[in-house]
Each structure stands twice: as structure tokens, then as C-alpha cells.
Structure 1
Amino acid sequence: MHREPLNPSARWALTSLALSMLMPSLDTSIANAGLPTLAAAFDATFQEVQWIVLAYLLAVTTLIVSVGRLGDGFGRRRLLLIGIGIFTAASLACALAPSLAWLIGARAVQGVGAAIMFALTVALVADAVPKARAGSAMGLLATMSATGTTLGPSLGGLLMAHVGWQSIFVINVPLGLLNAWLVYRYLPKDRVERKPLAFDYPGTAVLMLTLAAYALAMTVEGFTPTLLLISLSGVGLFILIEKKSKAPLIHLSLFTDSRISSSLALTLLVTTVMMTTLVVGPFYLSRGLGLGSTQVGLVLSVGPLLAAFSGVPAGRLVDRFGARRMVPGALLGLACGCALLALLPVSFGLLAYVLPITVVALSYALFQAANNTGLMAGVGQDQRGVVSAMLGLSRNLGLITGAAAMGAVFALTTDDPTQASTEVIASGLHVTFGVATALMIAALGLGCSPVGASLLAMRSVRR
């Protein structure tokens, strides 16, 4: 079917959204590969520097739904500009950090800006491009998300090795300035009037404490059962608060819609696995295969490059064949890629890593385009910000779970990943991705169930 090309203004508007997705996605993982360097720079333990990653993820996760609601009433373009400003300023503060505590605090503030960018970028697609191009636009954003998240460790490692750890944050300053100008210049102005904004402070506070307890339970030795119990109790308290709140952080009624709940569950499972590759991959390549830092960076770039080249074609496949057909195929590909990582022996060398990661990267790009397009097509204009934010919340819960829970699985099977032998590292990789394979099989079952099918059969199937 012939489609009119985007006009220059729409192209630049979509470029601004792509950059708004790339920047916070990149900083989700850019510090991962450099954690040993940062531990040495600040004379800190691995558990302490791990909070450079977790502080960012927690800030994004706890605020993303709130800012999505704010965008619906305050104006999405206006709030996106504020978010880009916060993210850029906090990035500069990270680069200037004189201590680990300063850096962790600045990363948390950076996460506030990232939450705004994540929550509103997908919701603004409908304002930037025609409906017939929504799938391709979502494919581009999926490419940016996948590229940013998976490119982070390799880019961060290269910058730290050749420039210095400050450079991984300084790079955001010129990008942020360019992004803000593009959004201001090309995105259509908000068509909503400012409204009195109610904010769910109790719900936000409880959610933040619940997620912090969960992350601590997975990263701090001792008191783990207690912290897990606190996090579970926090979930119950959060539900009670949301039921009674006049302006709930999360409308629990959204979860009664099988289309939405299925999409969010699938997103959580898939992003858990993607973060697992970022936690385990660098250790397997360096300790398991004996690669140097530059080689590790190059190998870790394979996935991002594939995602970058496959995201837009994946979006076109969704436009042509529909999410109903594409999501199960993507989930099957992810399951196969994880199974290969779990089964291929270390004696196969680099092929045992590159081949499965290729399958995972291509499948992830297809999943993102299909799942996001199917979800947003069935949402009304007044709810797009909230649902987009819920999608971001699900994604970041998956990232936290991958970094904390799946990281804990890998740590338990290797004792100390920084000192373990090749055989132990390989065994840890196989066990961890055995668990990841089980998660993807569960996701495939959900995606192919009647509930999942109702999501995938939404009216975005063909345009």
C-alpha cells in the first residue's frame, strides 16, 4: 500500500522523539560496564557502586506514571522540554561529582528527567506523524530504545577507557541541548489548557520505598528476607492507597482491561531478559572468553547495530501484517535466543555468544514495535499519557528485576563474578539464561493465550 512520505517538519518532529527515547535509554545502562572503574575511582565496593545504576532506575520507575498523568493535563510538549532540561543539567552534575554520594544523588535527579522523557515520547507519536505511519514511528522508537539500552555498556566502556568516566555523562549535554531545540521547534504546540493538577504523594512515596526495599533485598547482603517481606507488604499498601485515592497514581481499573494488562506483563518479562544480557554479558566476555576491554566493547555493539537496522523494518512489518502475528513470533525468537545462551558450551567460543545475541536483538526490536503499536492504537487521546507511562513503568520494573533478581541468580552461581574462573562464569551464564528461557516461554504462553490474543487483535492490525 502506497504511503505519502513524511513532510520535513514531521521528520524533524519524529527525530526529536527518537532522540528523546535514545538519551534516557542509553543512560539506563551506560554505567554498567564501568562499575569496576567507578568503584576504583571512589574507593567503593561493588554493592555501593551498583546504586549508580539502581538510583537512576528507581527514580524513573517511581515517577514515570505520575509524570504521564501530569503530561495529560499540563501539556506533553511543555513537560517534555522540562524533562530534557532536568536530564541535561543532572548529567553535567554527574560529570562534576566529587564523591560517590553526589554521583548517586545526581543520577537520581537524572532519572527524574528520564522518567518524563520515557513517559511522554510514545504518547507524542500521534501528534508527530499520521496514523498510517504510527507502526513505522513506533519501530523507530523501538530501535532507539533497544539501541540505547544495549549500546550503553559498550559505549560506556570505550569512553571510560579512552577519555575518562566523566565523559559518559558529559556526552548528554550537547545531545540534550540539540534535543530541546528540536522539540521546541518542530513538535506541535500543546492543545490542552492548564488544569489544576492533583498528585498522589502517598502512592508515590510508598511505591518508591517498596521498590527501594526490593532492590536492596537483591543487592545488600543480610536482611534479605526482611526486605523482601517489606517490599511485598508495600505492594499491598500501595493497592489500598490507590483504591482510596481521589487522584490515584495508577488507576487499578486499567488492569481489568486484558489488552493492557497483557501488554504490560509481556513488556516486564521481555525487559527483564534484556537487562540480564547487560548484566551477564560483560563478565562472560571478559572472564569467560578472556577478551580485552576494547574487544568486549566491540562485541557488545553487535546487538545495538542489529537493533538499529531492524527497528524500522520491524515497524513496517507491523504496519503490513499487524501486531497479532508479529508479537508471538518475536517472543518465540527471544525464547530461542535465550535457550541458545543457556545451552551452547563455552568451547564454541565467541560464536556461542554472538549467534544467540543476534537472535535476541532482532526479536526484541520486533517485539517493541508490535507490542507498543498494538497497545497505543486502542487508547483514547485523553489516556495516552497514562498508558504510555504505564508501559514505561512496566519496562523499568523489568530492568530493575533483570539488574537485581537475575543479577542475583548470576552472582549466586558464580560466587564472585569479578574473580570466578572460566568454567564457573560459563556455568553461571547457562543457569541464568535457563531461567530467562523459562520467562520467555511463559511470555509466549501469555502472548498466544486468548487474553493475549485479544490484545494483539486490536484495530492496529492493518491501516
Structure 2
Amino acid sequence: MKPLAAGSPAALAGGPARNPASVRWALAGLSLSMLLSSLGTSTANVGLPTLAHAFGAPFQQVQWVVLAYLLAITTLIVSVGRLGDMIGRRRLLLSGISLFTAASVLCGLAPTLWLLIAARAAQGLGAAAMMALTMAFVGDTVPKERTGSAMGLLGTMSSVGTALGPSLGGLLIAGPGWRAVFLVNVPLGVLAFALASRHLPADRRDGRTERGGFDHLGTLLLALTLGAYSLAMTVGRGRPGPLNLALLAAAALGVGLFVRAEARAASPLLRPAVFREPLLSSGLGMSALVSTVMMTTLVVGPFHLSRGLGLGEAAVGLVLSAGPLVAALTGVPAGRIADRFGSRRMTVAGLAGVGLGCGALSLAPVSLGVAGYLVPLVVVTAGYAVFQTANNTSVMTDVGPDRRGVVSGVLNLSRNLGLVTGASVMGAVFALASGAGDVATASPEDVAHGMRITFAVAAALAVTAIALAATGRALARRRADAG
């Protein structure tokens, strides 16, 4: 059986009518795109000390190598998703992969720090397209009954990128040098482009949307609002100060202006009615809450393991790598379970696992040692993998083809905002609960107390997410009965 032509009716329709071999290669291209966007963050983090030495710059400047990438993704991912719905997701995804790959070359060749930061911002724009549109493509690529499995595969690749990034970055820095951290993306980007251009279904050409309908004002307001909020959460490591408060005030003002602009726009970036859909709004809220919880493990874990349990750097890294490894191994099975038992039921099951794991971490005595942290961490991470796959499936399954890009962008945005918020807020909770001015020099007892309080708060957030799931389902059922 010959592969379907990119522009054939069956290819345009996607789903079961497509050649299974072509579907597998299309998923390979999407998975590689997700892996690259995840590697873009995790590999650069480990190289910050080397970059500070190479450019003779302080940490406050070098950290923008990471921040520029994250800010570009966070501020533009919804707009990129909307643009993909309008002009064609395949075309925009290929453009995003091309931009990411070209920007990786510029990062690897950058002669100055500020050129590297500018190239990283361009790389983040490409990554925003890759993150937003990979999930949106699932509905065009696989049969509906296999959506969960495809979402699980994408979640697995994201986790693999997170887990592989630090070790890969460390090996490249120790070998060829820091420039190889960025140049390694180039051959992978070329391969992703080749797979996507050959096997992804062609864009629909039904004339329902046009370039002129793009909401430029809404896009600008949303980007400025998200940028202000993200900076408020990251500048000064989230400690409240005049600049942070001013940025939060600007973000609050931006929300008001954005809502007003969307209510008046002829073709709004985000229709206000979207957030009145119970299952969608609850799914976005749960995603933000659970991402906040997951960031707690990254904020608190290193201090608890090093200061509280007295582990060395290598041992700390080994224990922390267990989380992403579990997520990588759980993603695909979680997708199959969601396909079999229903995504909404498995969403609650995943949330329950996150809550139970956080509760165990808040109660575990220090005397249990590494096992007292590692076993609950595995439960938390496995629950998160099940939740993320099931929630993504639940949100994306019933979305119309003309809205998949923007909804996928909003879903990724909720996750990113949760991570940004968790790094700041949960870090502040930990510092406050430990009762130390500097957590890095706090006593083991103070760190253990701070960890218990912080994970108790995280468990409460997981319970809140479960309540949100129940509320969303009840409202959706009531709306269906009324209709």
C-alpha cells in the first residue's frame, strides 16, 4: 500500500483513513518536535556557570539565556496556536522547526552574550510553535480512540527531554564545549523537519478563516500581560519587591485590557465564551495547579536531599532524575489506560496519586532517609504522568479542527504559568516555613520542617484540583441536561 499523498482527501481528513505507516512516521516527527522544545530548556540550565565564565558576565545577566527562551514560549504560545488555526498548522509547524533549528545555529556561533540571548528568544518562538501545534496535530493524525496513546507518547518525549537534558548538556560541555549544547539541536531539527514535511497531513483549505482576521491588539496585550507576570515571578527569584509588585500590577491591568479588547474584537484571539465551557476551563485550571505542585519537587527536592539528608551533588542528581524517568516510562501506558477506561476518570486517578504522594512527603520522617523521599516522589510523578495524559486527551478530544491550535496553546500556557508560579510561590513558602533567611545555609531540621509544610500546601493544591474536576464535570452534565 502506497503512502497517501499529502494533499489527498484521506490525508486531509487524517485519522483512520491514513496509512498506518505514515501515521507512525508523523507521530515520530511530532515526538521529535516535542523532545527538541523540552531539551531547549533543560540543556541550557546546566550550562549557566560555564557561560558566565566564558563571557565574563554575572549570573543576573547569564540567567537571561534561560529566561529569554521561557518568556518567548510563554508570551507567544497562544498566539502561535491561533495563527496555526488560521493559516495552516502544518505550514506553521514547519516554520517553527526551521526557526528553532536556525536559531540553534546562531546560539552555537554567538560571539557575545547578548547575541546569544537574542538567538535564544528566536529559538523560544520556534519552540512555541512546536509545543502548541504538536498536540493540535494529534486530532488530524490518529483515530479518536487512540488519542490518549498519542498524547501519552508526546508527554513521554517531553519527560525524556527534561530527564536527558542535564546529563546531555553536562557531557557536551565537558567534551566539545558549551556551543555544542545548542548545535546538537541542528541535526535533530533537520530530521524533525523532514519527517513532518513528508508525513503530516496537508492543511485544510476551506476558506473559513483568513489572515486579516488575526487579532493583533489582543495578541500584543496578551504577550505584554504574560511577559509582565512571568518577569514578576522570576526577577529577584520571586521575592516581593517594588519591581515585582509593579510588574504584577501591570499584569493585572493587562488582563483587564485584554478581556475588554477580546469582547470588542471581530475575530478575537480567545473568545470569552471559551472559558465558560466547564470541561475546558476546569482542565486548564487543573493543569496550572498540578504544574505548580510539580515545580515544588524541583524547588524543595535539592535542598531537602543536600541539606536535610546530607547527600552529595552526584547523589542528589541521581535521586532527582528518578522523577522524569518515571514520567517517561509512565506516559505511553497512561495514554493506553486513558483510551480504555476514559480520560476523565483517569484524570481524577492521576490527581489522587499526586495528592497522596505529596501527603506522604509532608508526613515522612527524616529517619526514613532517601527512601522516604524517593518512594513518594515516584507516586507523585506517576500520578502526574497519568493526569497530564488524561487531561490533555480530555481537553483536546472534543475540540473542533478550527480551534485545536489555540486550545493547545492555552493548555500549554496553563502548564507554563503553573511552573513559573510554582518556582516563585512554592519557593517562597519553603523559605518562609523553614524560618531561615537563606535556605542554602539553613539547618537540616529547619529544611525538614520547611519541606513538610511546603508539601502539605502542595497536597492541598492537588485536592483543590480534584474538586475542580468534580465541579467541571457537574457543570458540564447540567449544561447537557439543560440543552
TM exceeding 0.5: yes
TM superposition shift of 1:300: 2.7
TM superposition shift of 1:384: 1.4
The answer for unaligned runs of 5 or more in structure 1 is none
Equivalence for 1:444: 466
Equivalence for 1:214: 229
- Distance 1:372-1:102 versus aligned 2 partners, 3 A rule: same
Overall identity of the aligned pairs, in %? 58
TM superposition shift of 1:417: 4.6
TM superposition shift of 1:5: 12
Verify the 8 A CA contact 1:337 1:359 in the aligned structure 2: yes
* RMSD of equivalent CA atoms: 2.9
User: Aligned letter for 2:22?
Assistant: S
Q: Which runs of 4+ in 1 moved over 6 A?
A: 3-6, 455-459
User: Aligned letter for 2:298?
Assistant: L
Distance 2:352 2:339 in 1: 20
- Distance 1:415-1:152 versus aligned 2 partners, 3 A rule: farther
Write out per-residue CA displacement over residues 371-391 of structure 1, whole angstroms, 9 at most, x where no aligned residue. 111111211122212211211
> What secondary structure sits across from 1:190 in the alignment?
coil
- Distance 1:312-1:54 versus aligned 2 partners, 3 A rule: same
2:328 aligns with one of 282, 297, 308: 308
1:104 equivalenced with 2:117 (yes/no): yes
1:276 aligns with one of 296, 321, 337: 296
TM superposition shift of 1:457: 12
Deviates more, 1:169-178 or 1:414-423: 414-423
Distance 1:356 1:38 in 2: 35
Which residues in structure 2 correspond to 1:179-328 (within 5 Å)?
179-192=192-205, 195-218=210-233, 219-220=235-236, 222-223=241-242, 224-328=244-348
Verify the 8 A CA contact 1:62 1:207 in the aligned structure 2: yes
Equivalence for 1:21: 34
Equivalence for 2:152: 139
Verify the 8 A CA contact 2:347 2:390 in the aligned structure 1: yes
The answer for unaligned runs of 5 or more in structure 2 is 1-15
**How many pairs align?**
456
Write out per-residue CA displacement over residues 416-439 of structure 1, whole angstroms, 9 at most, x where no aligned residue. 455545444444433332322221
User: Aligned letter for 1:187?
Assistant: L
TM superposition shift of 1:111: 1.1
Distance 1:4 1:254 in 2: 30
Distance 2:60 2:452 in 1: 23
2:184 aligns with one of 171, 177, 196: 171
Verify the 8 A CA contact 1:215 1:404 in the aligned structure 2: no
Distance 1:209 1:4 in 2: 42
Equivalence for 2:369: 349
Deviates more, 1:29-38 or 1:199-208: 29-38
TM superposition shift of 1:23: 1.5
Verify the 8 A CA contact 1:259 1:455 in the aligned structure 2: yes
User: Aligned letter for 1:212?
Assistant: G
1:9 aligns with one of 22, 25, 29: 22
- Distance 1:352-1:43 versus aligned 2 partners, 3 A rule: farther
Which residues in structure 2 correspond to 1:411-422 (within 5 Å)?
411=431, 413=434, 415-422=437-444
- Distance 1:8-1:445 versus aligned 2 partners, 3 A rule: same
TM superposition shift of 1:12: 0.9
1:54 aligns with one of 53, 67, 92: 67
TM superposition shift of 1:47: 4.4
More helix by share: 2
Which residues in structure 2 correspond to 1:58-73 (within 5 Å)?
58-73=71-86
> What secondary structure sits across from 1:379 in the alignment?
coil
1:363 equivalenced with 2:383 (yes/no): yes
> What secondary structure sits across from 1:124 in the alignment?
helix
TM superposition shift of 1:293: 4.1
User: Aligned letter for 2:99?
Assistant: I
User: Aligned letter for 2:473?
Assistant: G
TM superposition shift of 1:41: 4.4
Verify the 8 A CA contact 2:344 2:391 in the aligned structure 1: no
TM superposition shift of 1:166: 3.2
Which residues in structure 2 correspond to 1:363-382 (within 5 Å)?
363-382=383-402
Deviates more, 1:429-438 or 1:327-336: 429-438
- Distance 1:92-1:403 versus aligned 2 partners, 3 A rule: farther
Deviates more, 1:335-344 or 1:287-296: 287-296
2:404 aligns with one of 373, 376, 384: 384
1:429 equivalenced with 2:442 (yes/no): no
Equivalence for 2:5: none
Verify the 8 A CA contact 2:364 2:372 in the aligned structure 1: yes
> What secondary structure sits across from 2:380 in the alignment?
helix
Distance 1:184 1:457 in 2: 44
TM superposition shift of 1:46: 4.6
TM superposition shift of 1:272: 1.8
Distance 2:284 2:347 in 1: 13
TM-score, scaled relative to structure 2: 0.85
Deviates more, 1:348-357 or 1:190-199: 190-199
TM superposition shift of 1:16: 0.9
Distance 1:245 1:456 in 2: 31
TM-score, scaled relative to structure 1: 0.88
Deviates more, 1:218-227 or 1:413-422: 413-422
